[in-house]
Amino acid sequence: MGSRPLLGLSAALLLASGCARAPSPLAPQFGGSIGMPHRGVLTAAAELPAEGEGYRWLRQDDRHHGLPRFVKAIERAAAVVARERPGAILGVGDLSARNGGQLLPHLSHRTGRDADLLLYLTTLDGAPVESPGFIRVGNDGLAWDEKGKRFLRFDVERTWLLVKTLVEDPDARIQWAFASRNVEALLLEWAHARGETGETLSRAMDVMLQPRPGGPHDDHLHIRTACSPAEIVAGCEHTGPVRPWIEALDRDAGHTASDWELADALFRPAGGELGPRAPSPRSGEPTAHLVPTSTANDEHADRR
Ligand SMILES: [Zn+2]
């Protein structure tokens, strides 16, 4: 409840400022992840360190910046996998540039809310190997490593542990974990067999999706974090389905549904294409009708 006056004030400021979309002396309230994943910028970013417990950058470049809480969540998840199933290293691909904006070849990755995580792989005998890069996993769970001229195996156990940790982490606020249908099926089959709880399974089923277009995502997971109410007030534009467990978290933190809707509405384009209350794609109808086209297709479309 305490958030209401603050939000009201911010809303008035935003309306007065005509919803300018970049931080400026005239709109100092904007900061962090500003805009949408495919059309926006990033300020006050944190850079994921080049390596940490259980992970390492795939490439040495300037593409590992994100919302600080999102970066921390990636570090935490890699560390959990490393502690519970030691021996493997998570390869981390692109997040965002230091100040966000276009990051080719991606269409998204512009606002510090996206990250490409490589799939864990093992040898055919089950020994963990550091992924040499974006290696495609087939229906049989095998992946051809062109560099090493050998088959590797999709490490379902560690990759599931990564997904589970991320969807159970309240600060990660995972809205999407783009993955191919095949990768998703292998992960969920494993999770079922392991007796995962219904809540964890349903979260994973909600967030995993093979985007169209954007490549099948059979060689990595592309995760996206959802804006928090405070981030929305600071310029983060929500797009796509609202995950019920994230909404519940915000409710527990004192944000009411109407706060959320107000903050969200401030940034909805005139065309209203966002469909802020779109049901989960797993609620019984074909995904194509329920995931707004601007989210499931265009903005998520990136080759990596
Ligand atoms: Zn990506």
Domain count along the chain: 1
Q: Which residues hold their Cβ within 5 A of ligand 1, which is an ion?
A: 116, 222, 302, 304
Structure tokens given for 26 = 């005239």
In a domain, 100, yes or no: yes
Q: For residue 104, how far is its CA from the centre of ligand 1 (angstroms)? A: 10
Give the span between the Cα atoms of 103 and 107, in whole angstroms: 7
Q: For residue 192, how far is its CA from the centre of ligand 1 (angstroms)? A: 27
Residues with Cβ within 8 Å of 163's Cβ and at least 6 positions away in sequence, in order, are 177, 187, 204, 208, 221
- Please write the tens of the pLDDT for every residue from 124-168: 999 999 999 999 999 999 999 999 999 999 999 999 999 999 999
In a domain, 304, yes or no: no
Do 200 and 167 meet the contact criterion of CB atoms below 8 Å apart?
yes
Backbone angles phi, psi at 115, to 5 degrees: -150, 140
Residue 28: closest CA among 39, 17, 36, 37: 17
Give the span between the Cα atoms of 238 and 240, in whole angstroms: 7
DSSP codes, 125-149:
TS-EE---S---B-TTSEEEETTTT
Q: For residue 148, how far is its CA from the centre of ligand 1 (angstroms)? A: 25
In a domain, 71, yes or no: yes
Query: What's the domain range around 84?
Result: 3-299
Do 204 and 221 meet the contact criterion of CB atoms below 8 Å apart?
no
- Please write the tens of the pLDDT for every residue from 95-108: 999 999 999 999 99
Q: For residue 135, how far is its CA from the centre of ligand 1 (angstroms)? A: 14
The per-residue pLDDT for 295 is 41
Q: For residue 60, how far is its CA from the centre of ligand 1 (angstroms)? A: 17
Give the span between the Cα atoms of 108 and 3, in whole angstroms: 30
Strand partners, 92: 57, 117
SS3 content of the chain, % helix, strand, coil (to 5): 35, 20, 50
The per-residue pLDDT for 255 is 79
Q: Which amino acid is at 68?
A: P
Q: For residue 219, how far is its CA from the centre of ligand 1 (angstroms)? A: 11
pTM, entire model: 0.81
Query: From residue 90, how far is each of 56, 213, 243 by CA, in Å?
Result: 6, 26, 26
Q: For residue 114, how far is its CA from the centre of ligand 1 (angstroms)? A: 6
Residue 134: closest CA among 208, 63, 219, 197: 219
List the CATH number of the domain containing 141.
3.30.1380.10
In a domain, 144, yes or no: yes
Give the span between the Cα atoms of 288 and 222, in whole angstroms: 19
Ranges of the chain with pLDDT below 70: 1-26, 213-215, 257-304
Structure tokens given for 179 = 């993955």
Q: For residue 228, how far is its CA from the centre of ligand 1 (angstroms)? A: 21
